[in-house]
Structures are given as structure tokens and as C-alpha cells.
Amino acid sequence: MISKASAIQHGQAMTNYATKNNRADIVKTNHLSEGLPPMGMWDEMVLHQSMFKQRYVKKPIELTSIRFELSPSEEEARNWNLDDWQRCLNEFIHEIDNISKVNHIGKRKGKSAISVKPTNIANSQYFAALHHDSKSGIPHLHLVVNRLDMDGNLNDVKFIGERAVMAAKAVNLHHGWKDAMDIRNQRIVEVTNACMNVLSSMSAFDWNVYTDRLRSKGYNIELIRDKTNQAKVHGYRFKFGRTTIKASELGVGRNLTASKIESTFHRLHPQAFPISQRSSAFVPNPTTEEGRDVAKPSGLSHPYNVVQPKGSPCFRKVLQVDGKHFNIQMLTIAYDAMNSCIKVPENGSASHNDIMNVAMLLFMGYLDAATSMSESCGGGGSPGSSWGRDKDEDDRDWARRCAMQANWLCKPIKRSRRR
């Protein structure tokens, strides 16, 4: 079961909604006259508040009621009658009225236990209405509570949302039901695996293919497109009944968000890049490639060239920067390690391929070319005079460090405006 709560000032409108204009099933009323229509119940709450108006004249009550929503899972509420719903409601109210401390995650202090004044919902006016016609098809309960209890004391609503979650968790524990967060986390893992499997099965990334294949697996995916350019996707989310999972919650390091998903696709498909070829027998001459002059690192004699073990798969490529050709050659295992560490910056113009090329230039020691290419992609800066490969650094570690340096070089420069 999950629950939500908030203090509201539109109690009259909420009464209409909760009762569906007298078409919802009333599960329970508390300290209200029997047989009242929906607006009659609300009028009786307002009348009760007016009796204590003088007590709160200096600080009038703006949020006049509290709304709760209780939603068990389909398995938990299967075959329930009104008595079962009433028992669940009574358990929930008992638990929430006994909460005196809330574990709150603050921006400064982090997670800490904060004392709160317990509510007195059991001795307050309220009514609970059952909805059957939700989009998910799962019934759920709406509870509308008067802010003033029967003694005229104000029900405290500090961290009321967190309290509702804690109360639902206690009810789940008592019945042995799965915790809502556990269900959500399990669902996130399931959706992440489905997304990665779909990306692995695609020959080229396309939003239509991506969404169609996920929908064929039974997932309700919704794309959020740019209002002016419908071809551009800002984000997407999955819907499970009344629950929504955003793309930012999936994967590792937000790698399945709309801005990073193509980069993730390329990491799964390194062959999608314009690779010249992979060879296991021949390493080209570092000074020529197909009859063209190839630049060398200035003042160096290929210090980063590694003697290729005989029979080891080799990757090679020629890059053109500022009219010059630069020979790239490295072990395939180094290329794959480098490719896995490339991260495309948000709000930048550099693509995965651009950053990969900068990293390969760094790997081979073409520092000026790497700097020039990163600047052409909207980045800037330089590796620095101390940049270089450590003596004990193997090919893969060196490739990863070059990739991370390329990520930094290709980040968009933040320019400050002077008055």
C-alpha cells in the first residue's frame, strides 16, 4: 500500500471530488451526522471550525482540511469489501496518529530525525470515499479530515506527506505486504534491463524504434517532445497505473536520459563509429598512411606507441585536424576501455564521436591537435605541461585517463559577462 497526504484550503472542491458528487462509496464517516450528502458533511466541518473562530482570530486557519489517499496494490485489495477497507483505514489512522518523529532528508543536515506534534485524526471529523474508476483499475481511498479536532485543537501538518508514507509502511509491515519503495526499486531494475536490451538489439538509434520495441514488451512509455520542434525529445517516462518512473531514475549515472541515451547506445555498439578497420597482423608505418603524410607529436618520437603483442587485435584510424592527418593505432582492448569512459556533456555541442577522437589524439600524444579539436566542439583548455603517460600505466588505464581528460576538454566553456 502507498499513501499520500497534504494540507489544503480547497476542502469544498475536494469533498466534491472525493465523493464523485455522491457517486463514490462512503466507507466511513467520523463525528459527522448520519445520512448527510457530501456538501452537508463539509458544511458540518465548517460549522465546527466557526465554533473556535475566536481562538484563531490572530492567526486564521488557511489550510482548513487534510486530504489523504490510500492505494493498496491489486493483489492486496483483491476481493475486499467495505468492511475490509474500513479496517485498513482504521489501521492507517492509528499508525499516523502515533508518529512523533519523522526521518527527513534536509538540504544542509542530510537525513535526521525531527520531532513533530502527533495528529489527532481519530478524534476529528472526517469521511472516507472509495474510488473504483481509476485509470489503473485499482480501487483507492480518499480521506478528507477537518484540521480542527473535536476539542478545537489544530491537527499539525508538518511533514504530513512523510508521515503518510511512514504510516503506510507500518501497515504493510503488519500484514507482510511488500513495501512500496521495494516494489518501485524492483520495477526500476526491470525497466532498466528492458531498455538496455532494446538498445543492444538496435542497429541504429531511433526514438520510434526504441519506443515501439518497449511498447511491444508491454511497457507504457511516453515521450516528452519539444513544443516547437517535435523531432526533438526532451525526456520520457514509464507509467504503471498511478505510478510514474522517469528516465532519470533508470540505469547508472542517468545514462538512459534523453540527453545521454545515444551515448549509451554507442558504448553498446562501438562498431557504429566510423572505424577504418581492425587488424591482427599489421601495424601501419607511423609516418605514412595510404600515401599521405601523417603528423608526428611535436618533439616526440611516438612515446605513446605500444609494441603490439603478436596476434593482438589492433585498431587503427587516420584523423584529419586543421588540414593535417594524424595516425591513430592502439590495441582493441584499449579502444574498448576508452570508449566505455566517454561521457557526452549536457547542453554541449560535442558528440560521442568528437570526444572519442580527442581521447585518441591524447592517447597518441598529439596534444595540439587534441586541444584544437576540443575547441572546435565548444570546449577548451589544454591537458597541461605535466600531461603524459605514467611509466607503470598499462594501455587500458592510459586509455581510460585519456577519455576522462577528453570529457573535461570537450565540456562547454562558461563565459562570464563583464559590465
Task: Decide if 38 contacts 19 (C-beta within 8 A).
Answer: yes
Residues 93 and 36 in one domain: yes
DSSP H or E stretch at residue 317: strand 314-321
Residues 230 and 213 in one domain: yes
Q: Is the pLDDT of residue 4 over 80?
A: yes
pLDDT in tens, 27-43: 999 999 988 998 999 99
For the purposes of burial, counting CB atoms within 10 Å of the CB of 88, is it exposed (0-12), middle (13-18) or buried (19 or more)? buried
Distance CA 148, CA 120 (A): 9
Residue 304 within any structural domain of the chain: yes
Residues 36 and 141 in one domain: yes
Residue 295 within any structural domain of the chain: yes
pTM: 0.52
- Domain interval for residue 197: 183-268
pLDDT category at 152 given cuts 50, 70, 90 is very high
Residues 52 and 199 in one domain: no
- What's residue 33's pLDDT? 93
Residues 223 and 292 in one domain: no
Residues 397 and 283 in one domain: yes
Residues 212 and 155 in one domain: no
Residues 13 and 157 in one domain: yes
Residues 241 and 208 in one domain: yes
- The answer to which of 104-108, 166-170, 187-191 has the lowest mean pLDDT is 104-108
DSSP 212-249: HHHHHTT-EEEEEE-SS-TT-EEEEEEEETTEEEEGGG
Please state the domain count of the chain.
Answer: 3
According to the per-residue pLDDT averaged within each range, which of 108-122, 261-275, 342-356, 398-412 is highest? 398-412
Residues 14 and 70 in one domain: yes
pLDDT in tens, 268-310: 877 544 433 333 333 344 444 443 444 544 434 344 444 445 4
Rounded to 10 deg, the angle between the 332-340 and 261-268 helix axes is: 160
Among 277, 268, 246, CA closest to 342: 268
Task: Give per-residue burial for 16-27: e unless 16+ CB within 10 Å, then b.
Answer: ebbbbeeebebb
Residues 53 and 151 in one domain: yes
Residue 61 within any structural domain of the chain: yes
pLDDT category at 73 given cuts 50, 70, 90 is confident
Residues 21 and 169 in one domain: yes
Residue 417 within any structural domain of the chain: no
Task: Decide if 264 contacts 199 (C-beta within 8 A).
Answer: yes
Residue 285 within any structural domain of the chain: yes
pLDDT category at 145 given cuts 50, 70, 90 is very high
Q: Which of 177, 204, 223 is the last residue of a domain?
A: 177
Residue 235 within any structural domain of the chain: yes
Q: Which residue has the cell 545515444?
A: 262
